[in-house]
Amino acid sequence: MSIKQNKDESIIKSTGAEVASIGRIEATFTPIRNKEIEEKYSRWVEECANTTKPCSHTIQETEEYFLQQCEAVSLDENDIRMKSYQYSVLMHYKFNSRLSGFPIDTNDEVIANWEKEQRDIRREIMNTLPEHYGIKTSGYYLPQIECNLYLYKEFKEETKERTKRIEDINTRTYWQDICFFFEETTEDIHCDNGGESLINKLYVFRGVREEDIKLKNARFQGYLYSLRELGNLPDFRNQ
């Protein structure tokens, strides 16, 4: 599974066959570009919208639920992993209007100015307390103890299947701590280095509001995606 964040407040999660776009503790499952599959997916979402009831929890309740599911250790505010998460949240929720794509097919001066602007934004964020921007973050790492090892095993197997490069897994990926992050204002939730089954549980617990069901929006589709991934909802492709 590869994860990256977009400028539009979303995170792209790719497993090779499927892509899920996640953001603000919500996800959108996007099937492979195939007309028949897309039609099945649309019918599936519509049918689920007709039977789903509102079942939402707050971000604070979701974080409490997370702490009940595993053994987690709080990250210090100055931990580089916390800083990186705060930077990511601010870049995509607060500085989106100041961001622009890399200037392709242009001169060196324009590229230099673009690079300087990106550095200035990063410096501003990294040297300013998160509270200044109105965000409140918390982060945790999962120690590799008995009750958490299943998540590390899951990620190792997933990475092995995706890359087919076992020699890289043990040295670069498997032994990094799985981390989870929460931000109250934006209701953002994020995990690094694994934890897919647990984050799907968090999405399901977080639930959906009546407006999400009515609009069949990203949060609703992400809820369905997580239910499906956990085996609690039939796969639309089998219908």
pLDDT at 1 over 60: no
pLDDT at residue number 229: 94
Q: What percent of the chain has pLDDT over 70?
A: 75
Handedness of CA 207, 9, 21, 119 (dihedral sign): negative
**CA 113 from centroid of its chain's CA atoms:** 31
Please name which of 201, 200, 108, 193 lies closest in space to residue 158, comparing C-alpha atoms.
193
pLDDT at 76 over 70: yes
pLDDT digits (tens, 9 = 90+) for 103-155: 555 678 877 887 887 788 778 777 777 777 788 999 999 999 999 999 999 99
> For residues 8 and 105, which has the higher predicted lDDT (pLDDT)?
105
Decide: 21 and 27 in contact? Cβ < 8 Å: yes
What confidence tier does 34 reach under pLDDT thresholds 50, 70, 90? confident
pLDDT at 187 over 70: yes
pLDDT at residue number 176: 87
Please name which of 3, 37, 44 lies closest in space to residue 22, comparing C-alpha atoms.
3
H-helix or E-strand containing 159? helix 149-163
Q: Which residue has the tokens 């992993």?
A: 81
Q: How many CA atoms lie within 13 A of 200 on its CB side?
A: 18
Q: Say which range, 56-60, 106-110, 142-146, 214-218, has the weakest mean pLDDT.
A: 106-110
pTM of structure: 0.72
Q: Which residue has the tokens 């916390």?
A: 82
In the three-class reduction of DSSP (H, G, I as helix; E, B as strand; rest coil), residue 177 is classed as coil
Q: Is 40 exposed, middle or buried (0-12, 13-18, 19+ CB in 10 A)?
A: middle
Parallel/antiparallel/unpaired status of strands 188-192 and 137-142: unpaired
Residues 157, 182, 133, CA angle at the centre, nearest 5°?
Answer: 135
